[in-house]
């Protein structure tokens, strides 16, 4: 997980932030009555999110910051825990599990990342 300023400078994560783990926890699926897939849920999970405007320690101005999640190492077996509760309501809609889950584009390796497909 990285946090960065619009100027490109990284921002350190708060003390105690645990970024190590096996798999992904609480990957949100769409609310009730919306068709969803694991592939789409993972794409939303990896989409950078805004942290709002924060003071940058590099450019010394108030700038928009984003938080991004990337894969640094890939396990042989991938564990994904889907979050099926939205505002206290359980979602019983089926979630499509694609034959292959391709996560190559979410790796920290730049340029042409190696294949990272799960079956």
Confidence at residue 91, expressed as pLDDT on a 0 to 100 scale = 82
Q: Which of 11, 35, 9, 60 is nearest to 1 (CA)?
A: 11
In tens, the pLDDT along 61-112 reads 999 999 988 888 777 888 888 888 777 888 888 889 889 999 888 888 777 7
Question: Does the pLDDT at position 33 exceed 90?
Answer: no
Domain spans of the chain, in order of start: 2-118
Contact of 93 with 40, CB cutoff 8 Å: no
Q: Are 107 and 116 in contact (CB under 8 A)?
A: yes
Query: What is the pLDDT at residue 52?
Result: 93
């Amino acid at each position: 997980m990285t946090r960065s300023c619009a100027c490109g400078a990284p921002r350190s994560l708060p003390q105690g932030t645990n970024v190590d783990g096996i798999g992904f926890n609480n990957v949100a699926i769409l609310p009730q009555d919306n068709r969803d897939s694991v592939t789409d849920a993972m794409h939303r999970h990896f989409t950078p999110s805004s942290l709002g405007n924060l003071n940058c320690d590099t450019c010394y101005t108030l700038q928009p910051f984003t938080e991004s999640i990337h894969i640094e190492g890939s396990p042989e077996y991938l564990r994904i825990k889907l979050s099926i509760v939205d505002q206290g309501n359980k979602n019983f809609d089926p979630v499509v599990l694609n034959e292959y889950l391709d996560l190559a584009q979410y790796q920290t390796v730049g340029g042409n990342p190696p294949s990272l497909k799960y079956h």
